[in-house]
Amino acid sequence: MIRSLVQNIAGVALDVVVMAAIATISLRVIGGNLGVFLVLSVVGISWNVLIFLWWAPRIFPSY
């Protein structure tokens, strides 16, 4: 019971930290580096999809 409570609190705390970090980013900075931002976004999304479709079935073959 305590362990699940601590895990839930840790998950919420991580969400708050990520939201705070995103909120500190200036829109002018993103606009000024839009090309880099888009490239990193596309690479990150592509990586996640590749891992999900290729590697996950090899790790969890029966799922």
54 and 39 in a single domain? The answer is yes
Cα–Cα separations (whole angstroms), residue 15 to 37, 53, 62: 21, 26, 31
37 lies in the same domain as 63: yes
pLDDT one-digit tens code per residue, 8-34? 999 999 999 999 998 998 889 888 999
What's the chain's length in residues?
A: 63
- The answer to whether the beta carbons of residues 31 and 38 sit under 8 Å apart is no
pLDDT tens-place string over residues 31-41: 899 999 999 99
Q: Which residue has the higher pLDDT, 18 or 63?
A: 18
Shared domain for 37 and 17, answered yes or no, is no
Query: Domain limits at 15?
Result: 1-26
Domain count, the chain: 2
Domain match, 39 and 56 both: yes
18 and 38 in a single domain? The answer is no
Q: Within 10 Å of residue 21's Cβ, how many Cβ atoms?
A: 9
Separation of alpha carbons 17 and 23, rounded Å: 10
Q: Which pLDDT score is estimated for 47?
A: 97
Whether residue 37 is found in the same domain as residue 60: yes
